[in-house]
């Protein structure tokens, strides 16, 4: 029997500590145009996503993060997987909204947020590209955030913030905004993090709400073994790690590494391939 991923609770919703990422399914590699194209060619339609999503579900990883309004193929893939697997997948939507201070912009933002509610998202976390426009460092506030969290509540979802900028977490906690969870970039290389790893570790560990961390492998710049052991051992049990994968095998390897890190054991993984296989470093003895 497969070992299930441990779970945490976010605003009354049970979520797995590993969340499905979507960048390596829809083509956001954070590496190159060639890598983006490779991903899109590997997943040309919503049905092609199924083996990857099914592999996550096999371990109880039943929540996915993404921009579903921007990537309708991802939404179609989730619906297809739910139907085939007979399991619900929790949606964590991160919509980009117009945050200009006008009647027209608010109506536009509401339309986007309503879409998140219509597709049944459990959580709606305002994308960092939008939320960061509201940060006032001089006053230590996030201006007009309550306008958008109310829209999210009114549409039946739980509000959160995608916080690439750590001030979003700090100011939200300090001002007790209606926010249930945060997204924060976190990896041992400091990739795309705006300040030192140690500082962000402190922000996450002192956050008043659970944190959904992203980019644990620095978009492929460190191995899953390094990234997951770092995250598991420096995050709280209430926090989550968003892990993207581009194949069923990657999912199973990543899950095993994370479960091993949680269990304080060495992961059970096959060795990597090499042109010369009879090397002690690869687990085989060489002739004297």
Q: What is the DSSP letter of 88?
A: -
Residue 272: its pLDDT value, please?
A: 75
Residue 23: its pLDDT value, please?
A: 82
- Strand boundaries in the chain, DSSP class E: 7-10, 13-16, 18-20, 63-66, 90-93, 123-126, 135-136, 141-142, 158-162, 181-185, 211-214, 240-243
**In terms of Cα–Cα distance, which of 21, 18, 14 is closest to 4?**
18
**In terms of Cα–Cα distance, which of 153, 167, 166 is closest to 193?**
166
Q: How many CB atoms lie within 10 A of CB 2?
A: 11
The ranges of the chain with pLDDT < 50 are: 286-288
Give the domains, in start order, of the chain with CATH numbers.
13-282 (3.20.20.100)
Residue 208: its pLDDT value, please?
A: 98
Half-sphere exposure at residue 254, Cβ-oriented, CA atoms within 13 angstroms: 30
Residue 31: its pLDDT value, please?
A: 82
Query: What Cα–Cα distance (Å) separates residue 253 from each residue in 27, 66, 80, 249, 250?
Result: 21, 22, 24, 6, 5
Residue 282: its pLDDT value, please?
A: 64
Q: Which two tokens stand for residue 109?
A: 């933002």
C-alpha–C-alpha distance, residues 22 and 84, integer Å? 19
C-alpha–C-alpha distance, residues 183 and 204, integer Å? 10
């Amino acid at each position: 029997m497969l070992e299930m991923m441990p779970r945490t609770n976010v605003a009354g919703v049970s979520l797995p500590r590993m969340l499905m990422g979507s960048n390596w399914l829809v083509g956001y590699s954070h590496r190159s145009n060639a890598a983006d194209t490779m991903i899109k060619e590997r997943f040309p339609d919503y049905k092609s996503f199924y083996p990857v999503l099914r592999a996550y579900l096999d371990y109880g990883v039943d929540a996915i993060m993404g921009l579903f309004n921007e990537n309708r193929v991802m939404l179609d893939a989730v619906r297809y997987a739910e139907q085939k697997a007979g399991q619900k997948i929790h949606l964590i939507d991160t919509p980009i909204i117009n945050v200009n201070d006008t009647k027209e912009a608010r109506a536009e933002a509401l339309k986007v947020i309503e879409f998140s509610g219509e597709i049944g998202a459990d959580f709606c976390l305002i994308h960092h590209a939008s939320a960061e426009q509201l940060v006032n460092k001089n006053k230590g506030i996030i201006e007009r955030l309550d306008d958008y969290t109310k829209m999210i509540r009114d549409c039946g979802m739980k509000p959160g913030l995608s916080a690439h900028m750590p001030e979003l977490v700090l100011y939200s906690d300090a001002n007790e905004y209606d926010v249930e969870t945060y997204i924060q970039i976190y990896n041992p290389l400091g990739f795309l993090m705006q300040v030192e790893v140690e500082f962000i570790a402190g922000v996450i560990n002192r956050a008043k709400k659970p944190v959904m961390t992203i980019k644990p492998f620095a978009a492929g710049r460190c191995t899953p073994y390094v990234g997951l052991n770092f995250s598991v051992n420096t995050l709280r049990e209430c926090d989550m790690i968003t892990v993207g994968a581009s194949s069923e095998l990657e999912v199973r390897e990543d899950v095993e590494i994370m479960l091993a890190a949680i269990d304080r054991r060495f992961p059970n993984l096959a060795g990597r391939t090499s042109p010369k296989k009879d090397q002690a470093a690869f687990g085989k003895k060489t002739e004297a």
